[in-house]
Chain A
Amino acid sequence: MTTTLLTRVKSKLFVHARRRSRSLLEGEYASVFHGRSLDYDDLRDYVPGDEVRDIDWRATARHQAPLVKRYVATRKQNLMLVIDTGRGMAATTRSGEPKKAVAVAVAGLVGYLAQRHGDLVGLVRGTAGSTVAHDLRGSEAHLELLLRAVDSATVVDGDQSNLATQLRWIVRNVRRRLVLLVVADDKELDPALDDLLRRLHVQHEILWITVEDADPTAIAGDRTAYDVADTYTLPTLVRLDPKVRAAYAASVAERVRRTTELLDRRGINHARLGSSDEVVQTVFTLLERQRRARR
């Protein structure tokens, strides 16, 4: 591998840096996950995304630009990446990339932001049959290791997906409070999962990312489409039928509505992703919403 996975994540961030979204994101992350202690540390320049109430108005008055008070964080956050590595995640997503590329991009970005702020990043990954947990650590190398583990574990001939297995593992094995970034397959959320979410939400803070499936009725006719679950090839003429396409679009919209409803009811902040190019913008929106919800 010529470039590391984390480098790719960072490059995504730097592409957006022209729009100052990098610092924007960092400010956003800081204000979401860092509580204010009373231990005042120093002042720094205001970046969009900072809390307005953190602005030191006295210092700003003596200065040309707004200044923000920086506090010493009281405690480190623990970010746990919860990532489905079933074979469903090796399939293609809306943009044509493998879904795991999107998963790695979003996990890498949030993990990078956390690591930059001195937080610890861990990983719980697995399939319907097995779960693998990685330690919480704070180094960039560790994050790279986690991303590679996700990338290499997700293969087309792997096990089937079932995120409930990983969530149940967390319920059983994790005692301390975590920030969970769940990267899920694009599936119907069943009642068992709903129950797990209810229990997890009490203890942890949850961010939910659904990686969209590619629309089989929109894949061009010169390619065949097959399901990774059973390698069944969808007949090209059938999946491109306009009636089938319309019915599928309606059923997807209905499923998204149900999922949204369920997660909203549980108070879980969530977003759908179909391309690694949308990751920065989506994470920003997600954090923004998280900040609003907590205030």
Chain B
Amino acid sequence: MELNGLDLKYPAVLSLGVLVALALAFAVYRMMSSRSARGAAAVANSTALTELPEYRRALFLHRVRMAVLALSAVLLGGGALVGAARPLDTAIDKPQTRSRDIMLCLDISGSMAAYDATLVATFKSLVKSFEGERIGLVIFNSSAATVFPLTDDYDFINDELDTATKALSGDPDLDSFFAGTFNGRGTSLIGDGLATCVSSFDKVDLQRARSVVFATDNHLAGRPIIDVDEAGELAKAKGVRVYGLNPEEDGPDDEALEMREVVTGTGGRYYAMSDQSAIRGIVDSVQAQEATLIDAASRSLYSDNPTLPIALAGVGLLGVVGASRRWVS
């Protein structure tokens, strides 16, 4: 989003108003001068009056008052005109930033318990790097549960990730966070989790860039409905890239190798959790590879912004009322 400063919805009102104001001022001036020409009284020896200190003081106050009045009138008229022309804040919206969906997919099985908080923190920094992409979070153990579906409300996403951090750090008040993740046979059913994540994208008929950030150690403990390879095939079939994040507790073991294979098979990449370039790499490859899919049409968003002219007109009104009020003497 890009802010373009003040714009006017009806600029014609402003130019027309200025013209009308000028014409009005001229008419008033003509009227006053013709009236003074008709009703002028010639007096002589007025220096007797104008040399009085009372007169000089009154004249000074009068001039100050006229200046305030003129300034306030201009402020009031100008403010009212600009306000009537409806000042707008223009924001140019780039819809391509919303053309990517990213599903964060977190394994919360016992073997991962020590790393989950760190992984959520990684997700958070990952979220910070995106702007406008829709992001969702799915956690899985023996079954998968959606914490929040795809959304571009980043405040909400950050709130949810904070809650996740607390829950994963063992806050007893947040046990409900894990609800729905123990419904399968065994624990840590990796293939089921990945398959759920891959199936969690909406608007399947639209061609959008879809990615899954898949954080797991790939240590299976139970009997999944579909295994990791099958889930990888599913992702490939749906055009979803899977980026792997592995804590690699035991170094690059067989499971890690299998995961790398599956992940790279979908067009994604594999990273060890300790890898400092992981976040940057995921972000770059998500943005770089999928920029071509972006719809180019951009649109402008307008919102009324009348605060400044109305405030100035208010100040002007105060000045006009104050200066035209008869001063108590």
Q: Indicate whether A and B interact.
A: yes
**What residues of chain A have their CB less than 8 Å away from a CB belonging to chain B?**
87-92, 96, 99, 156, 161, 185-187, 213-214, 216-217, 219, 222-229, 232-235, 237-239, 241-244, 246-248, 251-252, 255
Q: Which residue of A lies closest to B55 (CB)?
A: A244
Please name all residues of chain A whose beta carbon is closer than 8 Å to the beta carbon of B50 when the two chains form the complex: 232, 234
B297 within 8 A of A: no
Complex alpha-carbon distance, A87 and B44, angstroms:
8
| Contact string against A for B residues 99-110, beta-carbon threshold 8 Å, 1 for contact and 0 otherwise | 000000000000
Which one, B33-41, B73-81, B256-264, is touching chain A? B33-41
B49, A185: Cβ atoms closer than 8 Å: no
Nearest CB on B from A163, distance (A): 13
Q: Which residue of B lies closest to A161 (CB)?
A: B44
Complex A-B: 10 CB contacts under 8 Å: A88-B44, A88-B45, A91-B42, A161-B44, A229-B46, A241-B58, A244-B49, A244-B55, A251-B52, A255-B48
B289 within 8 A of A: no
B288 within 8 A of A: no
Q: Which residue of A lies closest to B62 (CB)?
A: A238
A217-B49, A243-B329 known; A238-B43 Cβ under 8 A: no
Interface centre among A156, A237, A238, A248 (most CB of B within 10 A): A238
Q: Which residue of A lies closest to B36 (CB)?
A: A224
A247, B45: Cβ atoms closer than 8 Å: no
A214, B59: Cβ atoms closer than 8 Å: no
| From A214, A224, A232, A241, contact of B329 by CB (8 A) | A241
Please name all residues of chain B whose beta carbon is closer than 8 Å to the beta carbon of A186 when the two chains form the complex: 44-45
Nearest CB on A from B325, distance (A): 12
B202 within 8 A of A: no
Q: Which residue of B lies closest to A234 (CB)?
A: B46
| Contact string against A for B residues 248-285, beta-carbon threshold 8 Å, 1 for contact and 0 otherwise | 00000000000000000000000000000000000000
Complex alpha-carbon distance, A111 and B209, angstroms:
116
Please name all residues of chain A whose beta carbon is closer than 8 Å to the beta carbon of B49 when the two chains form the complex: 216-217, 234, 239, 244, 248, 251
Please name all residues of chain B whose beta carbon is closer than 8 Å to the beta carbon of A255 when the two chains form the complex: 48
Q: Is the interface of B mostly helix, strand, loop or mixed?
A: helix
Please name all residues of chain B whose beta carbon is closer than 8 Å to the beta carbon of A99 when the two chains form the complex: 44
A224-B36, A241-B58 known; A92-B48 Cβ under 8 A: no
Nearest CB on B from A45, distance (A): 45
| Contact string against A for B residues 47-71, beta-carbon threshold 8 Å, 1 for contact and 0 otherwise | 1111011110011001000000000
Nearest CB on B from A132, distance (A): 21
Please name all residues of chain B whose beta carbon is closer than 8 Å to the beta carbon of A235 when the two chains form the complex: 59, 62
Complex alpha-carbon distance, A153 and B256, angstroms:
121
Please name all residues of chain B whose beta carbon is closer than 8 Å to the beta carbon of A244 when the two chains form the complex: 49, 52, 54-55, 58
Complex alpha-carbon distance, A224 and B32, angstroms:
10
Please name all residues of chain B whose beta carbon is closer than 8 Å to the beta carbon of A89 when the two chains form the complex: 44
A224-B39, A244-B55, A244-B58 known; A185-B45 Cβ under 8 A: yes
B71-102: which residues lie under 8 A (CB-CB) from chain A?
A: none
Complex alpha-carbon distance, A90 and B44, angstroms:
8
A243, B42: Cβ atoms closer than 8 Å: no
Please name all residues of chain B whose beta carbon is closer than 8 Å to the beta carbon of A241 when the two chains form the complex: 54, 58, 329
Given A223-B39, A247-B53; 11 other pairs, CB 8 A cutoff: A96-B41, A186-B45, A214-B43, A219-B41, A223-B41, A224-B36, A225-B40, A225-B43, A227-B45, A248-B52, A248-B55
A91, B40: Cβ atoms closer than 8 Å: no
A227, B54: Cβ atoms closer than 8 Å: no
B62, A237: Cβ atoms closer than 8 Å: yes
| From A213, A233, A248, contact of B44 by CB (8 A) | A213
Please name all residues of chain B whose beta carbon is closer than 8 Å to the beta carbon of A228 when the two chains form the complex: 42-44
A91, B44: Cβ atoms closer than 8 Å: yes
Complex alpha-carbon distance, A247 and B43, angstroms:
18
Complex alpha-carbon distance, A247 and B58, angstroms:
12
Please name all residues of chain A whose beta carbon is closer than 8 Å to the beta carbon of B44 when the two chains form the complex: 87-91, 99, 161, 185-186, 213, 227-229
A187, B45: Cβ atoms closer than 8 Å: yes
Please name all residues of chain A whose beta carbon is closer than 8 Å to the beta carbon of B40 when the two chains form the complex: 223-226, 233
Please name all residues of chain A whose beta carbon is closer than 8 Å to the beta carbon of B58 when the two chains form the complex: 238, 241, 243-244
Please name all residues of chain B whose beta carbon is closer than 8 Å to the beta carbon of A243 when the two chains form the complex: 54, 58, 329
Complex alpha-carbon distance, A239 and B43, angstroms:
12
A237-B62, A238-B58, A248-B52 known; A214-B41 Cβ under 8 A: yes
A214-B41, A228-B43, A238-B59 known; A247-B48 Cβ under 8 A: no
